[in-house]
Structure 1
Amino acid sequence: MTRPRLRVRAGRVALSSSEIPLAVMRRPAVVGADVPDHFLCPISLDMMRDPVTAPTGITYDRDSVEGWLERGGATCPVTSRPLRLEELVPNHATRRMIQEWCVANRALGVERAPTPRVPVSAADACEHFAAVSAAAKRGDGPACRQMVARARALGKESERNRRCFASAGAARALASSFSHLAAFHQMEARTLEDILAALVVFFPLDEESRRCIASPASLDAVVSIVSHGEHVARVSAAVVAREIASSCDNQCLQAMSKANGMYEALVKLVAKPISPQATKAALVTAYYLVTNTEHAAARLIDLGMVELLVELLADADKGTTEKALAVLDSVLITDKGRDKAYAHALAVPVLVKKTMHVSDMATEFAVSALWRLCKNTPEDGGRCKAEALQAGAFQKLLLLLQLGCEGITKERASELLKLLNGSRDNAECIETADFKGLKRPFT
């Protein structure tokens, strides 16, 4: 690795501007006072807020030197001797002197440097989650809940703490604890809810963690929380379910597909939204279940998912639109799904509307879904094609091909144009705004 370039300014060593962390570069300078040299960090040349000393005897601001090490630096920037993160020691004496100097110069506009929070050490993190696991194994919900809440708070306090806990196996310990406590039928639901809320902070989940949550007892608890938990807990449970499903771990997906009430819980999050995050999480989970497990599409269709998706698409943001179209396209592979869409007056117009002006992903799924409907339309006079034409599908697809699309989207858009071309009449709706940028007539 090429060592970062160093430069010298006023007798002090500092990193080149390309090597200074953005957060450090944006730190406001102390105005109206001449800061003593020994209060300045050798990396950023700013006054230190949280001074730490390396074994080499050099004191740095914690943010600056940790940023240096995280970007690949393995040596003390001043002495070039080997340096590791865990070797940094808080310099309380220097911090107190800086704070006293700030107070003494308050009249010059100097703000007192706040006392920094002590970051979590690797040893503390390992010890903490060992205690969490031990409490869960003996069924001590209150103790487990207290320690989990502290871990969550510390993890959210700083990215450094979060990484430290994650490296100590936080996700695995929390997932295992959830699995153990879920097996205690008298366990207070709030403890399980708090574990899920903490688990979200320490994503991603490894295979062992996912499979702990995908155990039958754990999934029953997740479904219960999604359906009946407190607001924050329901969101956390939905996000955890999404994390497991999106891993495409077949064993986990099969377990989720068989979990009692799973499909009802997902449909409920779409039918009665509690937050955009929970709705999107439910849609992603539904998509992976439909595309990777048998009977998932049929279950969702029976629970009214097609109608819910169509109505959701009528007024959804970009992210929700993409995910709803993905699920809809997946369930329209089935005859039952298409029958539900044919029966809904908004299905075709909504799909036509979403073929453009949302995103490439939305276009891909909208064209595919519309293709499934028009290609497999019942022999009833082609009402689906007529609705598509009336909604301006022919012009949108023509423009889409002119502006450029690739792969399966291009193939299906071309096939749709051929299907619709034979059904065109003088009553079709033409949206002139969609012809901007059109280069040549369709032939």
Structure 2
Amino acid sequence: MSNELITRQDFEQYMVPVFAPAQFIPVKGKGSRLWDQQGREYIDFAGGIAVNALGHAHPVAVNALTTQAQTLWHIGNGYTNEPILNLAKQLVESTFADKAFFCNSGVEANEAALKLARKIGLNSGVAGKNQIVAFNNAFHGRTLFTVSVGGQAKYSQDYAPLPSGITHVAYNDLDAAKSVINEHTCAVIVEPIQGEGGVIPANVEFLQGLRHLCDQTGAVLIFDEVQTGVGRTGRLYAYMNTGVLPDILTTAKALGGGFPIGAMLTTDEYACAFSVGDHGTTYGGNALAGAVGSAVFSHINTAAVLQGVEARFEYFKTALNLLNQRYQIFSEIRGAGLLLGCVLQQCYAGQAARLNKLSQQHGLLGLIAGANVIRFTPSLIIPFADIDEGLQRFEQAMVQFIENQE
């Protein structure tokens, strides 16, 4: 092993170029702050893309991981283990679900959900009940199946032929959904808030209408809560804000607080469509992931944390609106909980990445959601002092952003 310092240039030399990472390398995180190789500090409003629900190196997650690491790591799914059974029990007792399937990521959870839906359709006795209805600008992952179900051609157009039997219609347009959901539809998959697609919340009436259409046609309703789940919106899962119960729910990201884990949740009625050998995973249900996930979930699933998310949402939104009154950069601040989208005015269209890069230069880590939206998904327990400091740095970036336009 070489003792030479790893640098950003090593990315270009050794890594497949599917990412374009920042020019600095973070090496340490604590709470909602990060430091790079040069010791420069950043406020983290990105949260590892809605993953680091408790920030960096939170003792709840660290203690769970280090304790479990001294007992049992991985044994494969020829066996079960106590940590993952404990997490399954927590998820079932806290949601609509009766059963859980564990995997390593959101895309794997969505893959499992879509495969289960197709199997349910096959078992229904209705010929050709295999059609999937999804929505424009959705994002469900990067496997060939999920990238086909996501409604964004930029992620799928280079990989044809794509899986068939998938129809896309406009998000939040119930009439469009009615026109395509029928007796051949096996599943409707929807994000309660489109995250990567622009931080666009679904109308409650839209979700209620989808529930009714699925009930009428025997289709299963899948909620992709990979980004909105585990406290992100101020409720444990976003469906709890809507009065709509899905048949299948997918969760990942914040579930492990930074340790890779995903899950598909469903009811007894639908879980039984899968039998031994129908689906599987090598690492899913790993004892390390189960221990960390259980500890993180327990910490988040409390009134103090969930109410704190709501308080931080109001604090963020008020502060961002005040900034926007001063600089008039955004047409809208939208989202829920600590999933926030700042939509650029038309005159700044396509420049979200530039503003985000300027924010990095001023010591703030954020995200984009398409070409026109700055997205913030910080720790659910980010200190209010860090919000203030981060927004001060964001303001400096906004000023430079405007000056560079002139």
Q: What TM-score do the two structures reach when normalised by structure 2?
A: 0.22
Specify which structure has the higher proportion of strand: 2
**Whose radius of gyration is greater, 1 or 2?**
1
Tell me which of the two structures has the higher relative contact order, counting C-alpha pairs closer than 8 angstroms and 6 or more residues apart: 2
Q: What TM-score do the two structures reach when normalised by structure 1?
A: 0.21
